[in-house]
A and B are shown apart, each in its own frame.
Chain A
């Protein structure tokens, strides 16, 4: 079966750095997405990785290792507005997105 694992919840302090991990087992791999979802709102796109390595976009970075079936999202200089759920999703061999359950990130002052 297809499976994507992420921690259910994480807590971090404003101004700090946090790393959210995602491991996946899917039928094929055609890219990995990270989305952000604030409570009561729709998911919004954060990053995309299809090749191994680190993609940096401002305070957010995403890393991919295809051989390990592993990705992480790194958030730097945390702000209160970063409190949200972070969803990992993998494009499988049929080009359908398989979604993880999401990681709820709580930022404390």
Chain B
């Protein structure tokens, strides 16, 4: 692994189903993030984690949950998918928090369609 990986690459999901998007990084970064990107809108933060064992809510957390059991993995779960959650989901990581230089590195994204 080099950088950040996400799985699956794409998924079509029936409304009401549960889905977990996976994200793994091998850069030993402390902070990890989940964004959604919709046409015409900027990246919107769903949840973040500043370090293993801690998580926080971003701008659009409703309908999503995360966990951070270790440094490398940061899964995003949709408990009961709805069509408005159709989007491209990006996982990102950065080396630290609390500092002004906080370059984020992105995974390749997961394209999710909820029907």
Contacts and interface: CB of A to CB of B under 8 A. Distances in A.
Contacts of B105: 45
A102 B107 contact: no
Given A41-B108, A42-B107, A91 B43 contact: no
B42 A42 contact: no
A25 to B, nearest CB: 14
Nearest to A32: B100
B35 to A, nearest CB: 8
B29 to A, nearest CB: 14
Interface residues of B, number: 23
B62 interface: no
A101 interface: yes
Interface residues on A, range: 20 to 34
Interface in B37-74: 40-45, 48, 58
A61 interface: no
B61 to A, nearest CB: 13
Contact of B42 (A48, A91, A95, A101): A101
Contacts of B41: 101
B43 A87 contact: yes
Nearest to A33: B103
Contacts of B109: 41-42
B113 to A, nearest CB: 15
B24 to A, nearest CB: 15
